[in-house]
Structure 1
């Protein structure tokens, strides 16, 4: 149970929340004076006469948090090469939304603090706390679909990168040229090792630590080192050769178990996966359950007595941070999402609508970890303003979480607000399939089947992806059921659906439609032109032959779907009648049983009158 709990997003958020509460209780307890005293205890490392010393809080903020930002660098590297950030159309919208979510909060803060002692804190409300946001989305549950989670994760990654650039550029007080030159030399040494393909962990650890010390001494915040090193770590998709070697090693161990065979199988399997992914797997628990909670414990302890709360209620710093997080993030992300969609600069993943996007924009106002980080940099010499800024962060983050939850709840309860844009409107739609199943259709199952399920689907639609194994399981359990697939790509929502449909039709020319169909649904996140060409090569299919004919075929499917009242995907017809139930195995199975009984009654000869 404990392992299952720790693997969940709510688990890491709960630990972080617990550390925050503990810090507040400690700072406001009768022993509150020990809170600051403890975190200011100096600790150092000596090399002969040389001494490198920091207090405990700076070891946490400048040292441990470098690992946190290293993980962000790993995530950025992975997403750019293999994930969401490699598709420019899917990147444009969350990137501009993240930019809006930085500019508007900073602008609101400066309107209230320009020219005052708190002016330098404009960077405090710009950052989104990914851990807390994911925790709130886990609580929201089904109200937050997977495409929205992917959108917010991409937005958070871009937000983190922009926030780190802000820290590096605007929160660097002075520069030490010798230390900076040393940092560049150490970075060049790391790049040289990488280019020479020397993968000795001790060498990278020593050089990385030296780079961290040099950067810290140079005046630039060492968070930049963390993200830079993370970006430099290799990431790649496993090659067929590595997968083959790993499979052979595992098979060899299975047939002749031994310590040597086990070691070889372990090494082969590990080498099939990139260093980036292995490091993320190992470091993520330490970051989520140790580093970030310790950071919260060291920084979230703020005095909440009557005097400090009264000061915060009238402080432009507290008000600016709170409004920046609650109003600025919501308005900035919403506008940053609307503009690229309005001008066709990008598209959204999945069937997202404004009710869901507004909820995501609201919870993105939870700015905790990086916001506290910037407070420490901006107001290091002013404890009074620092306290007011922290109170603003706590208030703004709490209000953003509540506002986001309310928006998700209202959107869910009203139903139509969360319905996909392409879903059925309030109109009388046809109940019957307009074009009967014919010889040109893609059919899986016996021609003599009693029940025919026609699916209008989209290869990039996540709901179609979930339905795919359900229909397969249903067909295997019911030999008298056949499945027919017709293309209905939602082009405005899924930019890769139409090219995927063309490749599927190319495979159909070679008699391999259903093989390609299964591959595409198994790899929905990877549908770029290069990916599609790779899948076609696996099936020995030419992917882009006779595109006009295939496009016409897809258009005919779409036309028949619209005539049948199809407005979104997936839409099913059972024996030519629209299915309107839930898309789970049990519900569809009951509908199949009913369709089978109806078909039996219709085929039973009636006695003459």
Structure 2
């Protein structure tokens, strides 16, 4: 098993948001391209759901509540809404698990110094919204919704970037992606620990046994989708029956996959499977989930309740202020008290604009809204409305901030993409190559 290349030496400390390596930049670009399309589809699905639920509410509810599936000992006769919550989002978290594994073995999280910044930013971006929600709801009796404003929707956030942030430097995009991956891990832990109940240990034990078999077959190099796909479904069904939220099975299987390359491989198994499954997640699973989850009846009085009642107000303030300040403040603290240094080409205003995007909490926030208030449908709908309003406000604020910084971004991206000799490799990755210097006549800048 080949080891990963050692990280670049950092005698003075790691440069925060410095230039990515070319392979990492290529991976980030490919991943963001798919997520960007997914974000646009997600937005369209949410709009369709809102129109459908408000124009023909009875029809929307009948579709969401329609039951399909076999009545087996595993109780798989579920409503379409439950299939979307527990099934389709398991695909989303499966991809998140692969992303997280890859970040740990080959990406920004492979060394403690590199992992500190996005991890601290993600943790602070989860903790502060929860604290704000709890403070707003201290006397309301609705403290169970504390986790709703803690999630970041990477697909929605990147959809915003596709429209207004085309000149965002790749390092900032990578930071947002890494932040969201860690955020997803925290979200699944929250769901597993705080929103699972009535654990049936026989089903949980069998599901864990299935995960062990999944790991063993993968470790032995056994191939064949016809083997892994039924096994994955059985693991998911048993996890669902156990009372632990079924999306945990998705992230667990993603973490099992090998994401480093051995000799002669062009792609690791994890990279290959992610390449195949990511379009299914971003282009189908998440948009269909949004279609079946975002249908909230909106009226003047309902919108007024979003801003006057404690639970929805805590969600909005948590998303807008908690996520933005938490992510930005956590990043600043990590940079202040570790050896990491901000790339001198960037400004903290750039990072604040990106941190605002973290307040777009859509997919997982809608899921937690249903889990937190499953016994109070009216309150769950108000929480969903608050998620939609808060995400829209954050998207608007981020759009304004990124537009203000776009000229600065454009200069950075033009420098990053410059390829004066038209060889397909940006000049910044060749400046230390004597052959390239001789061919182009470039002379490196003297050391300071």
Q: Tell me the TM-score range normalised by the shorter chain.
A: 0.7 to 0.9
Q: CA deviation at 1:286?
A: 1.5
Name the residue aligned to 2:311.
Answer: 317
- Whose Rg is larger? 1
Name the residue aligned to 2:365.
Answer: 371
Name the residue aligned to 2:51.
Answer: 25
Answer yes or no: is 1:346 the counterpart of 2:340: yes
Name the residue aligned to 1:447.
Answer: none
| Compared CA separation, residues 210 and 292, structure 1 to 2 (3 A) | same
| Compared CA separation, residues 94 and 193, structure 1 to 2 (3 A) | same
Q: CA deviation at 1:464?
A: 6.1
| Maintained 8 Å contact 2:168/2:410 | no
Q: Distance in 2 between matches of 1:16 and 1:350?
A: 35
Q: Distance in 2 between matches of 1:280 and 1:307?
A: 44
Q: Secondary structure at the match of 1:557?
A: coil
Q: CA deviation at 1:77?
A: 1.6
Equivalent residues in 2 for 1:279-318 (5 A)?
Answer: 279-318=273-312
Q: CA deviation at 1:329?
A: 0.8
Q: CA deviation at 1:117?
A: 3.2
Q: TM-score with structure 2 length normalisation?
A: 0.84
| Compared CA separation, residues 365 and 357, structure 1 to 2 (3 A) | same
Name the residue aligned to 1:117.
Answer: 141
Answer yes or no: is 1:514 the counterpart of 2:403: no
| Maintained 8 Å contact 1:126/1:324 | yes
Answer yes or no: is 1:219 the counterpart of 2:219: no
Q: Distance in 1 between matches of 2:58 and 2:362?
A: 23
| Compared CA separation, residues 324 and 7, structure 1 to 2 (3 A) | closer
Unpaired runs of 5+ residues, structure 1, are: 243-270, 421-460, 475-482, 486-496, 505-512, 519-553, 560-609
Q: Distance in 1 between matches of 2:99 and 2:34?
A: 18
Name the residue aligned to 2:270.
Answer: 276
Q: CA deviation at 1:88?
A: 3.2
Aligned to 1:14, which of 23, 32, 40? 40
| Compared CA separation, residues 184 and 51, structure 1 to 2 (3 A) | closer
Q: Distance in 1 between matches of 2:437 and 2:373?
A: 57
Q: Deviations over 1:86-127 (max 9, x none)?
A: 243332111111111101111000001135332100000000
Q: CA deviation at 1:322?
A: 0.4
Aligned to 2:130, which of 106, 126, 141? 106
Q: Distance in 2 between matches of 1:361 and 1:101?
A: 9
| Compared CA separation, residues 63 and 473, structure 1 to 2 (3 A) | closer
Across the aligned residues of Structure 1 and Structure 2, the Cα RMSD in angstroms comes to: 2.9
Q: TM-score with structure 1 length normalisation?
A: 0.63
Q: Distance in 1 between matches of 2:330 and 2:128?
A: 10
Q: CA deviation at 1:143?
A: 4.7
Name the residue aligned to 1:466.
Answer: 417
| Maintained 8 Å contact 1:318/1:392 | yes
**Higher RCO structure, 1 or 2 (CA under 8 Å, sep 6+):** 2
Between structures 1 and 2, the one with greater strand share? 1
Q: Distance in 1 between matches of 2:220 and 2:403?
A: 54
| Maintained 8 Å contact 2:137/2:143 | yes
Name the residue aligned to 1:181.
Answer: 205
Q: Distance in 2 between matches of 1:169 and 1:352?
A: 38
Q: Distance in 2 between matches of 1:148 and 1:7?
A: 15
Aligned length: 410
Unpaired runs of 5+ residues, structure 2, are: 1-29, 439-443
Q: Secondary structure at the match of 2:94?
A: helix
| Maintained 8 Å contact 2:96/2:254 | yes
Q: Distance in 1 between matches of 2:255 and 2:101?
A: 5
Q: CA deviation at 1:350?
A: 7.7
Q: Distance in 1 between matches of 2:305 and 2:292?
A: 23
